[in-house]
Structure 1
Amino acid sequence: MNRVRESAPQLAGIIPYDPKYLSAQMYMSANENPRDVDPDIRSQIDEAVRKVSLNRYPDPLANDLRDEIAQANGLDREWVLVGNGGDELLFDTALAWGGAGRTFLNLPPTFSVYEANARLTNTPIMNIERFSEDFSIDEDRVLAALADPTNNIAFTIIASPNNPTGLRAPQVFLEKLLNSTDALVMVDEAYFEFSRETMRPYLERHENLVILRTFSKAFSLAGVRIGYILAHPAVIREYMKVRQPYSVDAVSQAIARVVFRNRNAFEPAIHDIISERERIISELKVIPGVQFFPSDSNWVLFRISHAEQAWQYLYDNGILVRDFSSTKLLENTLRVTVGTPEQNSAFLRTLRDFALRKD
């Protein structure tokens, strides 16, 4: 044979996720923490990694890490599941709660991987767009959609704060949502350390609540790939049926345990990022032709005329930001990750220069 059979039909038209990773002097596109793990914690990591037996399979459930996360959240191990980044757990959500005839309720613009996972699992998608000026959720439409049994909504994922638009979902709405349906409601809290708000207090009261978190952002471990969920033990057991065996390698488990034990050491940098976010917003206000959107996270989304040219001008000056200008509802927008004070100043200076040239 000189040809191969066609791939699964649900792959037709799917474009692989592209994080737009390009070489640059200043990386301000992927919502990473601009600071690497500090030398003291890295030394502890080196020591922990040296003790890992590379010839042995890892603990398949990362139970030591589960125990530490559970204890920090006032829970038992059975309420926690660790994954290969939040991305694995997002896909597992679609595997466990999706499928033909089981609708996924999506609230775009939001993280595009949610919809892609639904399509890969043959899950019908119901989109309720965020048409408001600040991209807030159309709460009445969402609740009405869930109340209609003909929609057969099996699960929804709500990022809080929402990526890429920036605002967290109101807790009053989320609780109303949880009370109104037996659909699985995942609240993606990948950036909750920057919003300072979590749905953890609601967890025991709502069996249908799943909270997703990650080590990639506030804890400077985007390169390690560790995420976890908090959920009712019965829900965790369903996730275990679809997760890949040994998905979290032993080295990543060792690194994550060290970082989690030292999580308080990251607080000063988190506060600095929040402060710098407010400085960026303040200075964007006075740049001609720029409209910024409020943010509860470690980035700022903004609209600017000639957004593609602005992106290129920033990149030509060594600054990589994320271009959403061709995304529905996000036309002419760019997203800048909060960097170090020096990086933020360079970004603002370069963007101001572009805007004045176009003014």
Structure 2
Amino acid sequence: MKARQAIQKLTAYPVSPFSRKGKIRLDLNESTRGCSPAVLKAISNISPEELNAYPDYGELLTQLSAYYQINEDQILLTNGADDGIRAVMQTFVEANDTVVLAHPTFGMIPIHARVVGASLHEVPYSMDLQFPVDGYLKALASAPTLVTIVRPDSPTGALISRESFCQIMEKAGNAIVLLDETYHHFCGESFVDLLSVYPNLLILQSFSKAWGLAGLRLGVVMGNPALITEIRKVNPPFSANTLAVKAARATLNDTSFLQQVVEDVAVQKQYLLKKMVQLNLKAVDTSANFILVKVGDSAREVQEQLLERKILVKSLDSIPLLRGYLRVAIGTREELDIFLQALQEILPPEALLFDMDGVLVDVSCSYREAIRKTASYFLGREVSVEEVENYKRKVGYNNDWDATETIIRENGGIASREDIIDHFQRLYLGNSWDGLIREEKWLADNSLLKGLAQRFKLGIVTGRPREEALFVLRLNKVLELFETVICMEDVPGRGKPHPDGI
């Protein structure tokens, strides 16, 4: 037995194979702020009769009519917004009819279009992620049966303006236009008022996002009564369940809760965007309740590592235009702080910074020996290796000239700093770079450095004079691997461990 060919070609909408309970859910753009307390009270008071009887929609339709300022016969309840898309497709789209949609957009739109055998006219987004108005206007020339627009769109978060939307409506001709306003609360505007202007307009809204009722699955399709009558023919008579109906009635009476959610999402979104700047990550603001964060080639790996920490986000790597991005819903401040802390722990560093002495280069026979021999010269006695090491371990003696000067003075020697440096440098550099500098042993594995340079920016922060640092790097054929070399001259008077070099 086989499914229809159209079904065989489909890939099911991805649903998490594991329980999301107890995790920080920033992946599906649900509200993690809960629902109105009025909803919990209403559901807790449900009677046995309400559960064993089919749902009654009359009172909810009356409420929705007053809320939207439209007639009851312009409203159809569905089992979530996804079900509303299905019902519209089944009602108006024949096999091989053209459906216009953005690419990318909400994944259930192309799925339901393909189920009915439609021909998809996908209007691509450009790199700026602005809604592709011009592409839509051109697509209307193909005389489509259905035009779909999501406002704000997902996953791009793009927002078509009222003016541009009306421009599309004016040129839509006989095509039905389905406007998905699932995220409209977060952009602060609905086009429900345009239902009285355009008889071919259908508007879809949901109780899943700002209202916080995703688990109860309730959508609303609104439009011309003639269109709603036709959709009702393919829609199950009781597609919205009793609990969803009771919850919707309760939450419609508590619009102050909705406003609190919308306002907090706006505040926390700005907080998260600022944190992305601090982390030096590119973030795309949206008109919805999520942002896009570019983490690069490691997007899927970052998603998996966040999951290990019980934090859910959505990787957009499967969408070529958004490859490297994560979609992150705007949770509560507490949830975002946990996410941010985890992200900092997971993300690969922007750059790898190396010290030179003792890390890339063994200086025990060069700089250390220059200290020992210079101190011995001015003290008139042999200074031991142990003496030199004791001073170098002390805080404040990273600079070898300072360490040498201190050894001499604390042991009764008399010499000017200029003479000390001059003698030190003659020992270290020799006559023509043939001094102790030639005794230095290169410690790093160059093949490892080359591999790291392909993945990260490499830099050096050293207390060496620039001329000496570059000589050693050239000598060991690695200078080109380091994008930045910070030396003594770059932070005068503020050498390590002062952080200015970094």
Give the TM-score, by structure 1 length: 0.92
Q: Structure 1 residue 356: deviation in Å?
A: 5.1
CA distance in 2, matches of 1:9, 1:350: 44
Q: Structure 1 residue 201: deviation in Å?
A: 2.3
Q: Deviations over 1:240-278 (max 9, x none)?
A: 121112111223212221122223322112211111011
CA distance in 2, matches of 1:97, 1:168: 26
CA contact (8 A) 1:192 1:198 kept: yes
Q: Aligned match of 1:83 in 71, 78, 81?
A: 78
CA distance in 1, matches of 2:152, 2:17: 23
Tell me what 2:12 maps to: 16
Tell me what 1:37 maps to: 35
CA distance in 1, matches of 2:294, 2:301: 12
Q: Aligned match of 2:335 in 318, 340, 343?
A: 343
CA contact (8 A) 1:167 1:294 kept: no
Tell me what 2:51 maps to: 54
Q: Percent identity?
A: 24
Tell me what 1:287 maps to: 279
Pair 1:6 & 2:2 matched: yes
CA contact (8 A) 2:151 2:184 kept: yes
CA distance in 2, matches of 1:43, 1:232: 35
Q: Deviations over 1:55-76 (max 9, x none)?
A: 32223xx232111111111111
Q: Which one has a bigger Cα radius of gyration? A: 2
Aligned-residue RMSD, C-alpha: 1.7
Tell me what 1:70 maps to: 65
CA distance in 1, matches of 2:96, 2:7: 18
Pair 1:124 & 2:122 matched: no
Pair 1:327 & 2:325 matched: no
Distance 1:67 1:18, change over 3 A: same
CA distance in 2, matches of 1:295, 1:201: 24
CA contact (8 A) 1:41 1:262 kept: no
Pair 1:161 & 2:152 matched: yes
CA contact (8 A) 2:94 2:116 kept: yes
Tell me what 2:289 maps to: 298
CA contact (8 A) 1:52 1:251 kept: no
CA contact (8 A) 1:274 1:297 kept: no
3-state SS, counterpart of residue 128 of structure 1: strand
CA contact (8 A) 1:189 1:211 kept: yes
Pair 1:311 & 2:303 matched: yes
CA distance in 2, matches of 1:188, 1:35: 23
Q: Structure 1 residue 331: deviation in Å?
A: 0.8
Give the TM-score, by structure 2 length: 0.66
Q: Given residue 164 of structure 2, which amino acid in structure 1 is its aligned partner?
A: F
CA contact (8 A) 1:203 1:209 kept: yes
3-state SS, counterpart of residue 137 of structure 2: helix
Distance 1:286 1:256, change over 3 A: same
3-state SS, counterpart of residue 245 of structure 1: coil
Point out which structure has higher relative CO (alpha carbons under 8 A, 6+ apart): 1
Q: Structure 1 residue 38: deviation in Å?
A: 4.4
Q: Structure 1 residue 212: deviation in Å?
A: 0.8
Pair 1:237 & 2:234 matched: no
Tell me what 2:92 maps to: 97
Tell me what 2:201 maps to: 209
Q: Deviations over 1:104-144 (max 9, x none)?
A: 001111111100001100111111110232x1222222112
User: What are the residue-to-residue correspondences of 1:163-202 with 2, within 5 Å?
Assistant: 163-181=154-172, 182-202=174-194
3-state SS, counterpart of residue 286 of structure 2: coil
Contiguous gaps of at least 5 residues in structure 2: 352-502
Q: Structure 1 residue 158: deviation in Å?
A: 0.8
3-state SS, counterpart of residue 345 of structure 1: helix
Q: Given residue 254 of structure 1, which amino acid in structure 2 is its aligned partner?
A: K
CA contact (8 A) 2:77 2:239 kept: no
Q: Structure 1 residue 18: deviation in Å?
A: 1.2
Distance 1:52 1:214, change over 3 A: farther
State how many pairs are aligned: 347
CA distance in 2, matches of 1:249, 1:195: 29
CA distance in 2, matches of 1:307, 1:270: 28
Distance 1:166 1:21, change over 3 A: farther
Q: Given residue 55 of structure 2, which amino acid in structure 1 is its aligned partner?
A: P
CA distance in 2, matches of 1:124, 1:41: 42
Greater Cα offset, 151-160 or 20-29: 20-29
Q: Structure 1 residue 40: deviation in Å?
A: 4.6
Q: Given residue 116 of structure 2, which amino acid in structure 1 is its aligned partner?
A: T
CA distance in 2, matches of 1:97, 1:131: 30
CA distance in 2, matches of 1:158, 1:307: 28
Tell me what 2:445 maps to: none
Q: Structure 1 residue 41: deviation in Å?
A: 3.8
CA distance in 2, matches of 1:185, 1:320: 34
